[in-house]
Structure 1
Amino acid sequence: MNAFPFGNRMISDQLIRAENRPSGFDYLRLFLSIGVLLTHSIDICYGWHASLVIWLWRGPLHPMFYFIVPSFFALSGFLVAGSLERNTIPAFLTLRFIRIFPALCVEVLISALFLGTLLTSLSLRDYFSHPEFWRYLGNIVGWVHFDLPGVFENRSPPNRVNGSLWTVPFELDCYIAIAALGIAGLAKRPILFTSAAIVAMLALSAKGAFTSFFILGGNHPGGVLILSFLFGAAIYLVRKTLPFSLPLFVLSFTLSLVFFYFAATFYLATPFVAYSTAYIGLLNPRRMLLVRGADYSYGIYLYGYPFQQAAFQLLPGGTFWLLNIVYAVLSSGAAAYLSWTFVEKRVLERRAAALLRVAKSMEWLRLFFTACANALGRGIR
C-alpha cells in the first residue's frame, strides 16, 4: 500500500528521471504561446464587443482560455525557482534581465521603427515627434504603452500595436517578489514560502469577494498571474515531498477550471493551475527538432500580436480568425526563430561572463562598505 494517497513518486524523482531537463516544459511553452495567438486572433478580427468574443470570455468554455496566461506564469515560477536556489540574488536578477530584456528591446524597436513607419498614416516627421511614439519605447523598461500614432487607426481600439505587452509589468513584479522572498530567506524554507503564498491567495480572495476587484472580459487580474508564479515556485521548492501523480493532476486541472468559472474564485485557482502546469511540464516525451536546444515561445508571444494586426490590415483573408492565426503562427514563428538565433541565444551564451562581472561588482561593494564601516568605527572611537 502506498504511503501517499497519490503515489510514492515525488516531483523531485521525476526531475531526476528527466536529468533536470524535462521536454514537457518546452512543448508546453509552445502550446501556450500559440494559445495566446488563438485568443488574440478572435479579439482582433471581431472586436471586444462581438458576440463570439463575449462567448469566448464568458461562455461555458471560458475557463480554458483563462488558464493560458496564468499557466505561463506558473511555468516560469517553477523554472525560475531553480535559478534562485542555485544563484545569489544579484546573479538571479542578472539572469532574468538577460533572458527578458534583449528580446523585448529588439521587438519594441522593430515595432516602433519598422512596422510603425511602414503603416502609420502620419508623415515620418509627425510620427517620430509624436509623444505616443516616445511613450511606446517605454515598453523596453516595463512602462507599458500599447499604441503607436497613426498605426491601425481604423481598428478598435485604434492605434493598438502590441496588446501582449500588458503582462510585462506583472512579470517584473514576479521577479521582484521572489527576489524579496529570497532575501528574507523564505526560498530556503519551502513550507514557509508556500504558506506565505497561501496567505496571500486567501487575503486576495477575501478582498475579491467583497469588492469589484476582478477584471472580466479577457484580462486576468495581475494578482492571479503573480500568485500563479509564486505557487509554481513553491511547487519546485517542495518537490521532494509533493507527489508526481496523474490523479492529482486531474483533480488540480478540474479544480482550476471550476474556480476560473466564477469571478469570485479566480485566485483560488492559482495553486491548481501551478500543479497542473508543473505536471505537464515534467513529462518527458522525445524532443522534436522544434524544441531541441531552442525556445521560440517568447518570440512568438512578443511578435504575435503586432503581426496579427498587420495580417488583419494587409493580407487576404486576414480578417477571418482562422486565417489570421495561420498567418500569425508562420510570421511570429519566423520572427521567433530569428530572435532566438541572433538575439536571445547569443546573449545567453555570454551569461557566464555577465555573472562573473556581477560577482566582482558585488565583491567591490562588499569591500567598499566594509571599509566605510571600519572608518566609521574608528571615527566613533
Structure 2
Amino acid sequence: MTASTLFARLRGRPLAAWIESGRDNMTLTRLLAAVAVLFGHSYALAGLGMAEHDPVRRLLGQTYSHFIGVMMFFTISGLLITLAWQRRPQLAYFLRSRALRILPALLACVAVCALLLGAVFTSLPIADYFSAPATWRYITGNASLIDLQWRLPGVFAANPTTDYVNGSLWTLPVEAGLYLAVAVVGAAGLLTRRTWLATAAVVLLAGGWLYRPLTGPEPVGIETALIAFFAFGALCCINRHWLPLSGALLLAIIAAAWIAYGTPLYQPLLALAIAYGTLWLVYVPRLPQWRLGDLSYGTYLWGFPVQQVLIATTDLREPLLIFAACLLPTLALAGLSWHAIERTALRLKQPARNAAA
C-alpha cells in the first residue's frame, strides 16, 4: 500500500459530504447516549462505592458510562446547534427553537415528579409535603434552569442515594448556557463569515471558559469537559468541508490513546476518541433506522426518577438488574414525552403567519 493510498483511507470523506448525504444515525446515536447514561446511573444509584464497578470505569480508568453518554450528547449538540444557526441565522427563531426543545418536556417531568411521584413516595404527611416551600421550589427552580433543586421533602429517604430525585438535570443549565453562547457569537456575525474567523471565535470563547479550571490547582471538572466537547462539535461543524471522517482515522486515535495509557496524554486522547467516535457513529456506519421518534431527551429526563422508584419499591440492588428493570418503563415514558409534548412543542418553532399578511 502506497503512502498516498494510506493517507486517502485515513482521510475518508469530509464531514460535509456525510451531512449532505441525507442519511445518518443521529436519532439512534442520541438514544444510545441516553441509554449509556441510564446504564451508568444504575451503578451510581445502587449503593455506596458501586459506581467503581461500572465496566467503562474499570476498562478505561478515567470516566463512567453516564459521563460518556453526556459527552456524546454535547458533541452532537455542538455540531447541530452551530449548524442550525448557520442554516438560519435569526436570533428570535434560534432562541425560540432552543427553548421549545428543552423547556416543555422539562417542565412536565419536574411537575410530575413533584406533584405525583413526590406525593406517593414522601415520608411526610401529605399536607406537610405540599405546604413545604421545597416542593414548589423543585418545580420553579428546575423548570427555569436557574436554581436547580435536587431534593423533594421526605422523598426516597430510604434509598442508597437520598440526595437526588433527578440527578440528570445538572447538565441542562450547561447546555442552555452554550446555546446562548452560540446565539451571541452568531448574532455578532462570527459564525457565518470566513471559516478561520468562526474557528477563532469558538476557540477564544471556549478557551475563556476553560482557562481557569485548566490552570487552577483542581482537576478539570465534568462541566468544563462538557464545554470542550460542545466546542469540538462546533469546530467540526465550522470546518466540515475539509474535516475528514473515517473509520481508519478513528482507529488511529484509539490506538494512540491506548499507547498513551498511564501518561498525561491519555485523557485528552481518550476524549478525542469519544468525541470523534460519536460523529463517526452518527454518519459513517449504515445502522438500522430508528422510526419510533426521538426518545433520547425523554430517556435522559425520566431515567433517574424511574431508577429511584424501582430501588424504593423493590429489593433490587444489583446494577445490571436495575438497568434491565428500568429500561422499558423509561423508554415508555420517553415515548409519551416525545409524542405528547416534545413533538408538539417543536411544531411551534415557526409561528403562524398573519392571515392578513
The verdict on a shared fold, with TM-score over 0.5 as the criterion, is yes
Determine whether 1:309 maps to 2:308.
yes
> In the aligned structure 2, how far is the partner of 1:258 from the partner of 1:339?
43
- Report the secondary structure of 1:155's partner residue: coil
Aligned length: 343
Following superposition, the deviation at residue 96 of structure 1 comes to 0.7
Q: Partners in 1 of 2:70 and 2:335 — Cα distance? A: 22
Normalised by the length of structure 1, the TM-score is 0.80
Tell me what 2:237 maps to.
236
What are the residue-to-residue correspondences of 1:165-204 with 2, within 5 Å?
A: 165-188=169-192, 189-199=194-204, 204=210
1:32–1:72: 8 Å Cα contact kept in structure 2? Answer: yes
**Residue 317 of structure 2, aligned match among 291, 316, 319:** 319
User: What residue is the counterpart of 2:75 in the other structure?
Assistant: 74
TM-aligned CA distance change 1:55 to 1:338, over 3 Å: closer
Instruction: Name whichever of 262-271 and 229-238 sits farther off.
Output: 262-271
Instruction: Please point out which of 160, 164, 177 is paired with 1:160.
Output: 164
Once residues 113 and 258 of structure 1 are traced to their aligned partners in structure 2, the CA distance between those partners, rounded to angstroms, is 52
Q: Which residue of 1 aligns with 2:143?
A: 140
Pairing partner for 2:333 from 308, 316, 335: 335
Q: 1:211 aligns with which of 188, 204, 217?
A: 217
Which residue number corresponds to residue 295 of structure 1?
294
Fraction of identical pairs, as percent: 31
User: Corresponding residue for 2:10?
Assistant: 6
Following superposition of structure 1 onto structure 2, how do residues 244-263 of structure 1 map, counting pairs within 5 Å? 244-253=245-254
Find the counterpart in structure 1 of residue 107 from structure 2. Answer: 105
**Alpha-carbon distance between aligned partners in 2 of 1:262 and 1:130, rounded to the nearest angstrom:** 51
Q: Distance in 2 between matches of 1:134 and 1:259?
A: 49
Work out the CA distance in 2 between the residues paired with 1:336 and 1:257: 36
1:225-268 deviations in Å (ceiling 9; x for gaps): 12211210221121111112222222345567888977997567
The answer to whether the Cα contact below 8 Å between 2:19 and 2:283 also exists between their aligned partners in 1 is: yes
Q: Matched residue of 1:318: which SS?
A: coil
Does the 8 A contact of 2:185 with 2:191 survive in 1? yes
Contact 1:228 1:273 in 2 (8 A): no
Q: Secondary structure at the match of 2:248?
A: helix
Contact 1:133 1:148 in 2 (8 A): yes
CA contact (8 A) 1:173 1:226 kept: no
Structure 1 residue 33: Cα displacement:
0.8
State the match for 1:129 in structure 2: 131
- CA-to-aligned-CA distance 1:300-319 (integer Å, 9 cap, x gap): 1100000000001113x422
Q: 1:62 to 1:264 in 2, by over 3 A?
A: same
How far 1:332 moved relative to its partner?
0.8
Contact 1:74 1:274 in 2 (8 A): yes
C-alpha separation between the residues in 2 aligned to 1:258 and 1:146? 40
Partner of 2:342: 344
Q: Match of 2:17, as an amino acid?
A: D
| Deviation string, structure 1 residues 158-188 (Cα, Å, up to 9, x no partner) | 2521000111110111101111111222212
Residue 260 to residue 295, structure 1, CA distance change in 2 (3 Å): farther
Instruction: Report what 1:279 is aligned to.
Output: 280
Give the 3 Å change call, closer, same or farther, for CA 270–322 of structure 1 in structure 2.
closer
**Aligned in 2, Cα 1:212/1:58: closer, same or farther, shift over 3 Å?**
farther
Greater helix share, 1 or 2? 1
- With the length of structure 2 as denominator, give the TM-score of the two structures: 0.85
Deviation at 1:343, TM superposition (A): 0.7
Q: Is the 8 A contact 2:30 2:73 kept in 1?
A: yes
1:254-284 Cα shifts (integer Å, max 9, x gaps): 5678889779975676555432221211135
| 1:67 positional shift | 2.8
Q: What displacement does 1:200 show?
A: 5.8
- Residue segments in structure 1 that go unaligned for 5+ positions in a row: 361-381
1:311–1:169 Cα change, 3 Å: same
1:6-54 CA-to-partner distances (Å, cap 9, x unmatched) read 335211111222x1x41x221211111111111101111122xx2x423
What is the deviation of 1:106?
Answer: 0.4
Q: 1:185 to 1:172 in 2, by over 3 A?
A: same
Structure 2: runs of 5+ lacking an equivalent: none
Cα RMSD of the aligned pairs, angstroms, is 2.9
Which 10-residue stretch deviates more, 228-237 or 100-109? 228-237
- Check 1:165–1:200 CA distance in 2 against 1; reply closer, same or farther (3 A cut): same
Which shifted more, 153-162 or 268-277? 268-277
Give the letter aligned to residue 72 of structure 1. F
